[in-house]
């Protein structure tokens, strides 16, 4: 898993919005998003919530 994360970092554009799914130690699945341009991040158990956060982030 460490190697996989390292490769993902190498292949990701430095200013590209990043969204990934994680599993906590209890087996709960959740989503994380990070925008390197603004430095803002968001985490939720709902994919819909993450999508809404992204839409609000880029709404001018």
**Residue for token digits 């158990």?**
45
pLDDT digits (tens, 9 = 90+) for 25-55: 999 999 999 999 899 999 999 999 999 999 9
Answer with the residue of higher pLDDT: 42 or 14.
42
Residue 1 banded pLDDT, cuts 50, 70, 90: low
How many angstroms separate the CA atoms of 18 and 41, rounded?
9
Residue 15 banded pLDDT, cuts 50, 70, 90: confident
Determine the 3-state secondary structure of 29 from DSSP.
strand
Could you tell me the CA-to-CA distances from 31 to 14, 16, 17, 60 in Å, in that order?
20, 17, 13, 24
């Amino acid at each position: 898993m460490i190697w996989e994360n390292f490769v993902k970092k190498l292949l990701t554009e430095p200013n590209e919005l990043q969204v990934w799914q994680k599993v906590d130690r209890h087996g709960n699945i959740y989503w994380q998003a990070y925008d390197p341009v603004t430095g803002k991040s968001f985490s939720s158990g709902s994919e819909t919530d993450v999508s809404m956060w992204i839409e609000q982030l880029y709404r001018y």
